[in-house]
Amino acid sequence: MTAAQPQRPATVAPAQIVRPYGDTTGDAMVQLSFTLPLPHDKRAEGAALQLAAKMGMEPALLVHAKAMGPDFTFFVVYGSVTHLVDVSAVQVVEREYPLLSAKEVNAAIKARLRRRLVVVGACIGTDAHTVGIDAILNIKGFAGEKGLEYYREMSVVNLGAQVLVPDLVERARAERADAVLVSQVVTQRDAHLHNTAQMAAAFREAYPAGQRPLLVVGGPRFDEGAAERLGVDRVFGRGTTPGEVASYLVHALLPPTQARPSSPRRAAAAERTRP
């Protein structure tokens, strides 16, 4: 009978601690800007320094103060913080699919879907900022990449700005959309979150379970890990390129083989190929 072997502790990734960099390595200096609802005077400047101290900046220097009308003041403060960052504890949404070229995307759609992939895009609610959706859909594209209109195996419908959610659902049904792309730039009072949740609920009500289009939202203030909470399939943040979106559509919608789709979403896309 052999003696029990002691259990080895689980391997834990070593902590990678960093400090902010200002003038010299590790000096923990940061710059922060904010507005206070106070007229510009010495008391307002003192209030700004008090806020900076409560946020962990010690000492804090007031490097800029400017009146914003009679009742507000804009401040920039500079100082060192005591907070440390453990990079090993940072959680991000990793891309789980390969980036494909436009040629590879077209070839995959042609071979595996055997029809054009239909994409409907819009800015919903009161959002009139089309720069995001145009960067992804328009042929001119973004960051040196052509938009989805450039892909010959995609049929793209750009509805533009201030589209009502019921109108978006109706058009998606009429076009037999495989994917619906929504851009939200306006974020006051979390309008982008409320609009996205409303859209997701509308599509759930309008389609049988597992048959709605792929829902993709994007914008500079979205949390990329919030897809499940918002009821959509994917969230893209700032700096997303058309190639990233096109590659994701191939990954999420196209069956890996023609024999049998491997997910309800892919099955729904395959079903739309039938007359």
**Catalytic residue numbers, as ranges:** 140
Other Cβ atoms less than 10 A from the Cβ of 106: the count is: 20
The DSSP bridge pattern shows strands 29-36 and 57-67 to be unpaired
Angle at 96 between CA 118 and CA 168, to 5 degrees: 30
Q: What is the tally of helices (H) and strands (E) in the chain?
A: 8, 10
Going through the chain in order, the beta strands assigned E by DSSP cover 17-18, 29-36, 57-67, 73-81, 85-86, 117-122, 154-158, 179-183, 214-218, 234-236
Q: Which residues of 11-22 are buried (b: 16+ CB within 10 A; e: fewer)?
A: eeeeeeeebeee
Which residues are within 8 A (CB) of 68 and not within 5 positions of it... i.e. 6 or more apart? 35, 74
